[in-house]
């Protein structure tokens, strides 16, 4: 292990980060991610296992870390910290208030674990970086965080929605995906009222209730949805 190149050490660390970020990843996904062969990924996985990392192999599915195994906090480089600060300034102008608040709280926690040298530079950049907002870029919704929770936990939602013709209806929906345009956030959901998939602009959702009742998730990806319906 002592003659492993710096490049490979960086890749091994990155593979560990990927496995901690996602519940399950296969060799093909990892090979594409790091632009190496599948055989190289096999060797990397063996090297990690030999170094004591508890990697579980699920036959035909991929790799995952043993439950409750966690890496030490990742130390950000100055460039990575600067990217977060820049993203924060852009997101502060986002139209959904709940998303802005959640991201700001997350960045505050990340700043707390930065090394002092990088933290000082990040704070300086934060003070000297400003995204000039559009005059009409006021907050128009506050439901994104709740809808993200409903989507990832398969909770039904009831929305009071006003469409383009100013007609207001109450819909029970099964959140499937969330998309963003330059102007608005969009919810793609199965609408039980219309018995089909519908897009809903978040700024037109007047009321939102996340139910405790759950729904059966769709057995397709977002890409498969667009291939099927568009």
Residue-wise pLDDT tens digits, 23-35: 788 999 999 988 8
pLDDT at residue number 48 = 87
Rounded to an integer, what distance in angstroms lies between the CA atom of residue 18 and that of residue 101?
A: 26
The confidence band for 178, taking pLDDT boundaries of 50, 70 and 90, is very high
Residue 75 tokens read as: 């130390």
Distance (Å, whole) CA 110 – CA 118 = 12
% of the chain exceeding 70 in pLDDT: 91
Quick one: fold of 144-229?
SH3 type barrels. (2.30.30)
How much of the chain, in percent, has pLDDT values that exceed 90?
39
List the chain domain ranges: 6-65, 78-128, 144-229
Confidence of residue 3 (pLDDT cuts 50, 70, 90): very low
User: Any idea which architecture 6-65 has in CATH?
Assistant: Orthogonal Bundle (1.10)
Residue 82 to residue 87: CA distance in whole angstroms: 9
Between 160 and 52, name the one with better pLDDT. 160
pTM: 0.64
Phi, psi of 144 (to 5 degrees): -60, -45
pLDDT, tens digit, for every residue of 98-112?
A: 888 888 888 887 777
Task: Say if CB 189 and CB 173 are below 8 A apart.
Answer: yes
pLDDT of residue 70: 65
pLDDT at residue 1 in the model = 41
pLDDT band of 181, cuts 50, 70, 90: confident
pLDDT value at 2 more than 50: no
- 128-159 per-position pLDDT tens digit: 887 766 666 566 888 999 999 999 999 999 99
115 neighbors 82 (Cβ within 8 angstroms) = no
pLDDT band at 4 (very low <50, low <70, confident <90, very high): very low
- Where residue 71 falls among pLDDT bands split at 50, 70, 90? low
Q: Which residue has the higher pLDDT, 195 or 230?
A: 195
């Amino acid at each position: 292990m002592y003659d492993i190149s710096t490049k490979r050490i960086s890749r091994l660390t990155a593979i560990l980060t990927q496995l901690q970020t996602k519940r399950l990843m296969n060799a093909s996904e990892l090979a594409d991610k790091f632009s190496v062969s599948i055989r190289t990924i096999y060797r990397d996985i063996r090297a990690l296992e030999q170094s004591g990392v508890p990697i579980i192999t699920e036959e035909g599915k991929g790799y995952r870390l043993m439950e409750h195994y966690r890496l030490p906090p990742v130390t950000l480089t100055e460039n990575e910290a600067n990217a977060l600060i820049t993203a924060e300034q852009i997101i502060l102008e986002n139209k959904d208030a709940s998303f802005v608040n959640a991201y700001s709280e997350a960045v505050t926690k990340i700043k707390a674990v930065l090394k002092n040298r990088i933290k000082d530079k990040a704070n300086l950049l934060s003070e000297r970086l400003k995204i000039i907002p559009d005059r009409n870029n006021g907050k128009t919704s506050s439901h994104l965080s709740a809808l993200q929770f409903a989507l990832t936990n398969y909770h039904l939602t009831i929305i009071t929605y006003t469409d383009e013709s100013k007609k207001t209806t109450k819909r029970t929906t099964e959140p499937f995906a969330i998309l963003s345009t330059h102007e608005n956030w969009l919810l793609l959901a199965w609408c039980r009222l219309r018995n089909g998939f519908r897009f809903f602009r978040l700024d037109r959702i007047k009321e939102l209730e996340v139910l405790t009742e759950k729904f059966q998730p769709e057995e397709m990806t977002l890409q498969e949805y667009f291939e099927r319906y568009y």
